[in-house]
């Protein structure tokens, strides 16, 4: 049976990515979606789309939709059911092709204990581990708790001492069950300073297995990869061959088919490496391998599922240049990287320099707490690693997007840092490198942008005026105060006062001269004291997003007259983000100490602790378990 119609059992950017390759091969596509994704781009991109009333973990309903749509194959993407052997079995039993490795391979590698044994059988070293908490002391702290059924940082916790073990295991289990439908976890030795190296493999149903080189994914926070690249700055041809051979040995024992990844931990000093796990799916970071090898991994997956042999051997695979990928998240780096929800009022990737954008969002997309906070993956290619890094940083700076907090400035700071450009990217990189959370602009540059924003606002007011619109902005026949616009940038209040001296030339109360060269609904070109600012502008209700030389700046336009403010509850502890209350660890009247965990919230499939800001007593609890709370909602009152 030839694949003519494909259902993608996933969402967001990976669904769009799979649809693109499928259409290039002439394969029709079917998307599934839940209510929050009803207006997502991938739903429109697919040839057909079906609503899923439950969740993306509902295997039975997905099979029913596939049968109704009369598809030939299902591609699971990554996350959700991609590494669920029961789902793979169910697909095959329904006479639908499964785009991925066999259910047997998924089951063996999904059980990390079995995976470790397989690695040992292939004579590949592994780190000490156990699934029994009583054995934790024998391994030695620090430890790493990991989900048995998936990755992506979900269900992972670093444990530094015995007292934190029980709570960390319970939290990891909840997160693993929510992300993968499987709460099993295990404990492994944690090595703080190392490199995370993974080998991409491809296998067909005829026993042919090749590796496509390595990716380095050492830069991580909250156990989620932030930057990935290929090749690694420390892996030479000899080491690549050793790690590639080890990966193929493990894959051969599995009789592996489709795309997969064998992950290793590398000691940079000794070049010793240890097997970590096999990801029996397409990886989030697969584009960097595609960029340096020229091989479309989704295309290869579909060909293998179609029963075709690999049409290249190991000797045919060559690597050219360097590719780097960063993950753009809706999160606040200045607030412990907590996820952020809201409306993306602008999303306009730059065309210069040209880089690859794999994304599932667009202008107007609502970012909800239901899913992972990743907005896009941006991938660059260069003849050298430094060129790839510089292109990627410049592309982020030149793009126009925002409306809510993202980690864009943080990513730019990483890519521009000397440590990164030198290749010093061990797993402790973010701890040792001085990475800035916010855009690198001084006070004068921020104020000039505020002037430019004010000039755009006055242009908007004039454009929309229905009375005397032919008069110059700010014209009057009396001696009146300057016009005034109040803007908020982060927690800073900026007031711009100005008057119109002559047509399109303004003076501020600080004697700045502002000459407007061009104005339209999405752009302003203004000269302020001989400094030229040419910026895209997006306005949405009270928010104004304006481009700077280093990225976008978001201003909130404040009303001319202050409104009555809500009075905060004295002693109230507020939710740092919207989320679901998964555990309340305190009772009314309980005494607490600074740093105690009071509430655990779940947002975007990750758990976040709300800690006591000081010693005290619980006066009142205003929420209950399983309640969905808004950002800023008062959770408890402390005395």
Burial class (CB in 10 A: 0-12, 13-18, 19+), 512: middle
Tens of pLDDT along 62-117? 999 999 999 999 999 999 999 999 999 999 999 999 999 999 999 988 877 788 88
pLDDT-derived band at 127, boundaries 50, 70, 90? confident
Q: What is the mean pLDDT of residues 289-294?
A: 98
Sign of the Cα torsion 100, 104, 107, 110 reads negative
Residue in 281, 327, 356, 408 annotated catalytic:
281
Gap between the Cα atoms of 420 and 519, Å rounded: 39
The CATH number of the domain where 336 resides is what? 3.30.470.20
The CATH number of the domain where 584 resides is what? 2.40.50.100
pLDDT-derived band at 632, boundaries 50, 70, 90? confident
Residue 119 lies in a domain: no
258 token code pair:
């489709």
Residue 337 lies in a domain: yes
Residue 477 is predicted with a pLDDT of 52
More confident site: 389 or 501: 389
**Torsion of the alpha carbons at 472, 474, 476 and 479, rounded to the nearest 10:** -140
Q: What is the mean pLDDT of residues 359-374?
A: 92
Gap between the Cα atoms of 339 and 604, Å rounded: 7
Residue 120 lies in a domain: no
Residue 144 is predicted with a pLDDT of 86
More confident site: 519 or 137: 519
Gap between the Cα atoms of 542 and 454, Å rounded: 13
CB 579 within 8 A of CB 601: yes
Residue 400 is predicted with a pLDDT of 97
pLDDT-derived band at 543, boundaries 50, 70, 90? very high
The Cβ of residue 428 has, within 10 Å, a number of other Cβ atoms equal to 15
User: What percent of the chain lies above the pLDDT cut of 70?
Assistant: 95
CB 81 within 8 A of CB 74: no
Residue 209 is predicted with a pLDDT of 98
> Does 201 lie in the same domain as 183?
no
Instruction: Extract the runs of DSSP E, i.e. beta strands, from 490-568.
Output: 492-502, 505-508, 513-520, 523-528, 531-540, 543-548, 551-558
The partner residues of 274 in beta bridges, in order of sequence, read 265
Sign of the Cα torsion 560, 566, 572, 576 reads negative
Residue 474 is predicted with a pLDDT of 54
Q: Does the pLDDT at position 473 exceed 80?
A: no
pLDDT-derived band at 149, boundaries 50, 70, 90? low
- The strand pair at 492-502 and 591-592 is best described as unpaired
602 token code pair:
């779940």
> Does 399 lie in the same domain as 343?
yes
pLDDT-derived band at 221, boundaries 50, 70, 90? confident
3-state class (DSSP) for residue 114: helix
Burial 11-32 (b: 16+ CB within 10 A, else e): bbbbbbbbbbbbeeeebbbbbb
The string of DSSP codes covering 120-156 is: HHTT--B--EES-GGGHHHH-SSEEEEESS--TTTT-
> Does 177 lie in the same domain as 89?
no
Please tell me whether the peptide bond between 231 and the residue prior to it is cis, using omega within 30 degrees of 0.
yes
Residue 438 lies in a domain: no
Residue 166 is predicted with a pLDDT of 84
Residue 485 is predicted with a pLDDT of 95
Residue 111 is predicted with a pLDDT of 76
> Does 427 lie in the same domain as 281?
yes
The CATH number of the domain where 16 resides is what? 3.40.50.20
Residue 360 is predicted with a pLDDT of 95
**Segment (H or E) for 370:** none
> Does 203 lie in the same domain as 177?
no
**Segment (H or E) for 328:** strand 322-329
Residue 117 lies in a domain: no
Burial class (CB in 10 A: 0-12, 13-18, 19+), 163: exposed
Q: Does the pLDDT at position 276 exceed 70?
A: yes
Number of domains in the chain: 5
Residue 491 is predicted with a pLDDT of 85
> Does 145 lie in the same domain as 93?
no
Closest C-alpha to 56, from 85, 29, 36: 36
Q: What 8-state DSSP symbol labels residue 344? A: -
More confident site: 236 or 157: 236
> Does 542 lie in the same domain as 631?
no
Which of 432, 462, 485 is the C-terminal boundary of a domain?
432
| Mean model confidence pLDDT for the chain | 91
> Does 414 lie in the same domain as 342?
yes
Burial 222-241 (b: 16+ CB within 10 A, else e): ebbbbbbbbbbbbbeeebbe
Which residues, other chains included, contact 333 with Cβ-Cβ below 8 Å and sequence gap of 6+? 407, 409, 410, 437, 438
pLDDT-derived band at 151, boundaries 50, 70, 90? low
Which of 412, 432, 452 is the C-terminal boundary of a domain?
432
> Does 382 lie in the same domain as 235?
yes
> Does 266 lie in the same domain as 159?
no
More confident site: 52 or 175: 52
Instruction: Write phi, then psi, for 163 (nearest 5 degrees).
Output: -65, -25
Instruction: Write phi, then psi, for 65 (nearest 5 degrees).
Output: -65, -45
Gap between the Cα atoms of 416 and 314, Å rounded: 35
Residue 507 lies in a domain: yes
Gap between the Cα atoms of 134 and 152, Å rounded: 26
Residue 327 is predicted with a pLDDT of 97
More confident site: 624 or 248: 248
Gap between the Cα atoms of 631 and 613, Å rounded: 18
Q: Does the pLDDT at position 404 exceed 70?
A: yes
Gap between the Cα atoms of 275 and 115, Å rounded: 9
Residue 425 lies in a domain: yes
Q: What is the mean pLDDT of residues 8-29?
A: 98
Instruction: Write phi, then psi, for 179 (nearest 5 degrees).
Output: -85, -30
Tens of pLDDT along 521-541? 999 999 999 999 999 999 999
Q: What is the mean pLDDT of residues 114-137?
A: 85
> Does 372 lie in the same domain as 224?
yes
Tens of pLDDT along 575-625? 887 888 988 988 888 989 888 899 988 876 677 888 888 899 998 898 888
State yes or no: is 281 an active-site residue.
Answer: yes
Q: Does the pLDDT at position 244 exceed 60?
A: yes
Q: Does the pLDDT at position 467 exceed 60?
A: no
Which of 169, 189, 209 is the C-terminal boundary of a domain?
189
CB 462 within 8 A of CB 428: no
Q: Does the pLDDT at position 154 exceed 80?
A: no
Q: Among 280-284, 350-354, 474-478, where is mean pLDDT lowest? A: 474-478
Q: What is the mean pLDDT of residues 327-348?
A: 93
> Does 323 lie in the same domain as 201?
yes
Residue 108 lies in a domain: no
Residue 122 is predicted with a pLDDT of 93
Q: What is the mean pLDDT of residues 390-405?
A: 97
416 token code pair:
């521009």
The Cβ of residue 580 has, within 10 Å, a number of other Cβ atoms equal to 17
CB 257 within 8 A of CB 102: yes
User: What percent of the chain lies above the pLDDT cut of 90?
Assistant: 64
Residue 336 is predicted with a pLDDT of 85
Q: The domain containing residue 308 runs over which residues?
A: 196-432
């Amino acid at each position: 049976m030839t694949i003519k119609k494909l259902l993608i059992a996933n969402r967001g950017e990976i669904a769009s990515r799979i649809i693109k390759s499928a259409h290039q091969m002439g394969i029709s596509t079917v998307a599934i979606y839940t209510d929050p994704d009803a207006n997502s781009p991938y739903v429109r991109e697919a040839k057909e789309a079906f609503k899923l009333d439950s969740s993306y973990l509902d295997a039975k309903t997905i099979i029913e939709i596939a049968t109704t749509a009369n598809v030939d194959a299902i591609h699971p993407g990554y996350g959700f059911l991609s590494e669920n052997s029961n789902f793979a079995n169910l697909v095959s039993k329904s006479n639908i092709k499964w785009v991925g490795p066999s259910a047997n391979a998924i089951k063996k590698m999904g059980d990390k204990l079995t995976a470790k044994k397989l690695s040992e059988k292939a004579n590949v070293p592994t780190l000490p581990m156990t699934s029994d908490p009583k054995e934790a002391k024998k391994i030695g702290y620090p430890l790493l708790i990991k989900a048995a059924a998936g990755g992506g940082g979900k269900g992972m916790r670093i444990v530094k001492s015995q007292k934190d073990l029980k709570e960390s295991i319970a939290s990891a289990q909840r997160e693993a069950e929510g992300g993968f439908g499987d709460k099993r976890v295990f404990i492994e030795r944690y090595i703080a300073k190392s490199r995370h190296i993974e080998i991409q493999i491809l296998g067909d149903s005829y026993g042919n297995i090749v590796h496509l080189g390595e990716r380095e994914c050492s830069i991580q926070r909250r156990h989620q990869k932030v930057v990935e690249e290929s090749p690694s700055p420390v892996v030479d041809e000899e080491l690549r061959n050793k790690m590639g051979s080890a990966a193929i040995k493990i894959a051969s024992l599995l009789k592996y088919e489709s795309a997969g990844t064998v992950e290793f931990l590398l000691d940079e000093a000794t070049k010793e490496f240890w097997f970590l796990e096999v990801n029996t799916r397409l990886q989030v970071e697969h584009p960097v391998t595609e960029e340096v090898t020229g091989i479309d991994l989704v295309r290869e997956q579909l060909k293998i599922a179609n029963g075709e042999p690999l049409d290249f051997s190991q000797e045919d695979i060559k690597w050219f240049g360097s590719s780097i990928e960063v993950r753009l998240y809706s999160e606040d780096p200045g607030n412990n990287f907590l996820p952020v929800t809201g409306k993306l009022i602008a999303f306009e990737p730059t065309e210069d320099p040209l880089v690859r954008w794999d994304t599932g969002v667009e202008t107007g997309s609502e970012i909800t707490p239901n899913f992972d906070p990743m907005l896009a993956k941006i991938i660059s290619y260069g003849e050298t690693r430094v060129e790839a890094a510089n292109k990627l940083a410049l592309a982020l700076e030149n793009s126009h997007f925002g409306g809510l907090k993202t980690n864009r400035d943080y990513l730019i700071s990483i890519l521009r840092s000397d440590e990164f450009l030198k290749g010093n990217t061990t797993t402790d990189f973010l701890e040792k490198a001085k990475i800035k959370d916010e855009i690198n602009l001084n006070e004068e540059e921020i104020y000039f942008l505020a002037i430019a924003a004010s000039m755009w606002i006055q242009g908007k007011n004039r454009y929309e005026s229905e009375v005397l619109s032919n008069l110059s902005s700010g014209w009057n026949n009396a001696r009146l105060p300057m016009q005034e616009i109040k803007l908020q940038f982060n927690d800073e209040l900026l007031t711009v006062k100005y008057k119109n001296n002559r047509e399109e030339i303004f003076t501020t109360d600080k004697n700045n001269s502002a000459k407007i060269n061009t104005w339209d609904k999405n752009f302003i070109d203004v000269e302020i004291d001989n400094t030229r600012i040419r910026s895209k502008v997006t306005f949405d209700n009270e928010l104004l997003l304006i481009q700077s030389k280093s990225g976008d700046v978001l201003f909130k336009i404040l009303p001319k007259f202050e409104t009555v403010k809500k009075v905060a509850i004295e002693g109230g502890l507020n939710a740092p983000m919207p989320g679901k209350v998964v555990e309340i660890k305190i009772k009314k009247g309980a005494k607490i100490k600074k740093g105690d965990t009071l509430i655990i919230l779940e947002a975007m499939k990750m758990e976040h602790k709300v800690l006591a800001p000081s010693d005290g007593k619980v006066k009142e609890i205003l929420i209950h378990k399983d309640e969905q709370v808004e950002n800023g909602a008062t959770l408890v009152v402390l005395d």
